[in-house]
Structure 1
Amino acid sequence: MQHTVLVVDDDPHIRQLLVFALGKAGLAAREAEDGEAALAAIAEVQPDLVILDINMPRLNGLDVCRKIRAQGDLPILFLSSRDDEIDRVLGIELGGDDYVVKPFSPREVTARVQAILRRASASAKAPEDRPQLAQGRLKLDPDSWTATWNGADVSLTVTEFSILKALMAAPSKVFSRDQIIDRLHGPGFAITDRTIDSHVRNLRGKFAALGGQDVIETRPGVGYRLGPCLGEPA
């Protein structure tokens, strides 16, 4: 099945460049010139992923992301300027799955889009090959792409789910940030440590809201590992 990607940027040249690159990769691409048009297009087209510029008139990318996350877990790849690190980190903390810095290579954007879509499509594998993962009160079902804490559903983005799945698949292992990046994208992707830290902070916040303060442990100077997932003491 062909995936549909919505490209949202106020620069028509960037939109055309990405639409062409995505089309060459076998993806269907639609365009939106600002945030308001993006929300209308999402409702109409129901894309599989949104490429979202942060700095746009009328409704910026961060505000669009907030509205998307209030409705569901549609994957988001942010585009940002080189000097907007604060916005990039905030975008990840709001629920973005990845980001690319302008000026960018269309090939890199396409590769990152395909990596996110592959992770989102991983649930198509046979259930018998994808047993549930469990630790304490935490359960992860890779087949249905769902996470629960003490029986309550926890809404995770594609990237958050993938990080948690990597940690749960090897619960005694301490993963460095580079190892987590390799699990998400494969070797060679340039992502800062702060991006991984932001995703982990998101995960902690979502589970802490349900009483799960011990889902992910930090090993200073090394990385992250799965915690005991026992939650608040009775």
Structure 2
Amino acid sequence: MRGGARSDQERGSTVIRGTIDTPGIPSRSDRLPNTSTSYRVLVVENNIGDMEALTRGLRRNGHTVDNAKTSDEALAQYRNVDMVLLDLELPDLDGLEVCRIIRSSCDVPIIAVTARGSELDRVLGFQAGVDDYVVKPYGFRELLARMEAVMRRARPALPAKASFRGISHGPLTIDTGSREVELGGQRIDLTRKEFDLLLLLASQPDSVVPRRQIMHEVWGDSWSRRTVDTHVSSLRSKLGGSAWILTVRGVGFRIGHA
């Protein structure tokens, strides 16, 4: 090999090539150093081999993984995850359209993972709302690093009033360090924005939090009225009742009691 170039294997970087019968299955050596944060990731991938390889690699790095092979499956699951890895070649609907639908209702981070590699494809992807764009074949450790970078950009700082370690509100416990919620000792799985919304309300238990403040602190003014209402509805469902989040008509919301 001329010019001192090294193969992917010699560099120690696993490459996902987009086929089931080629090398590229992530191994223990593909863990990203000094990374302790785990996410719930939705892998939307039409190719079964690619899906299985990517899922194994993500789980080895501590992430929880959900899978979808079609747009219908993806659109039924994206609200419950921290990040979406989206193949653009889906059998029932173009991945760009799936991205637009997701982006119209929430801001969950989306990374396109696709064989479409032209400049125009990338531009269309970013215009549709992806946060990053990875072209097959790709280095698995690079993908992990990109995931971390996207999550750092997407995760807002906690409100100053809620910067302490934990909040207890009756049987409801919110751990601001681990970002975990328990109700009556049972863990409640929340998305990133659901957690931020609940934390904001619980940090001001005797106050009505105006809708404008919610939008500013949780969504950074990139919002719609439907976005807030959708997340409130989802939180009520996961907490087991509407009494946990009370609507003060014309003003905003406040934390309640079940």
TM-score by length of 1: 0.54
Shift of the 113–138 alpha-carbon distance from structure 1 to 2, 3 Å rule, reads same
SS in 2 for 1:203: helix
- For 2:171 and 2:252, locate their aligned partners in 1 and report how far apart those are by CA, in whole Å: 23
In the alignment, structure 1 residue 141 sits paired with structure 2 residue 170: no
SS in 1 for 2:212: helix
- For 2:196 and 2:75, locate their aligned partners in 1 and report how far apart those are by CA, in whole Å: 20
Greater Rg by CA: 2
Percent pairwise identity:
24
**Aligned equivalent of 1:163, options 197, 221, 245:** 197
Deviation at 1:140, TM superposition (A): 0.6
Tell me the amino acid that sits aligned with residue 52 of structure 2: A
Deviations along 1:165-223, whole A, 9 cap, x unmatched? 0111112232233321211243x42x211011111110000111xxx441100011221
Deviations along 1:18-70, whole A, 9 cap, x unmatched? xxxxxxxxxxxxxx8844567436414428799xxxxx9x611x51364678x
Tell me the amino acid that sits aligned with residue 64 of structure 1: A
* CA RMSD in angstroms, aligned pairs only: 4.4
Tell me the amino acid that sits aligned with residue 226 of structure 1: I
CA contact (8 A) 1:75 1:158 kept: no
- For 1:205 and 1:224, locate their aligned partners in 2 and report how far apart those are by CA, in whole Å: 16
Shift of the 67–85 alpha-carbon distance from structure 1 to 2, 3 Å rule, reads closer
Tell me the amino acid that sits aligned with residue 136 of structure 1: G
CA contact (8 A) 1:174 1:225 kept: yes
Paired residues in the alignment total: 171
- For 2:200 and 2:236, locate their aligned partners in 1 and report how far apart those are by CA, in whole Å: 15
- For 1:67 and 1:36, locate their aligned partners in 2 and report how far apart those are by CA, in whole Å: 18
Shift of the 169–36 alpha-carbon distance from structure 1 to 2, 3 Å rule, reads farther
CA contact (8 A) 1:36 1:59 kept: no
Tell me the amino acid that sits aligned with residue 40 of structure 1: E
In the alignment, structure 1 residue 75 sits paired with structure 2 residue 87: no
**Aligned equivalent of 2:74, options 64, 71, 74:** 64
Structure 1: tracts of 5 or more residues without a match: 1-31, 51-55, 123-128
TM-score by length of 2: 0.50
Tell me the amino acid that sits aligned with residue 214 of structure 1: A
Counterpart for residue 130 of structure 1: 164
Deviations along 1:86-125, whole A, 9 cap, x unmatched? 9944xx5xxx7368xx885599946985443456xx7xxx
- For 1:74 and 1:86, locate their aligned partners in 2 and report how far apart those are by CA, in whole Å: 13
**Aligned equivalent of 2:238, options 194, 206, 222:** 206
Structure 2: tracts of 5 or more residues without a match: 1-42, 87-94, 111-123, 133-148
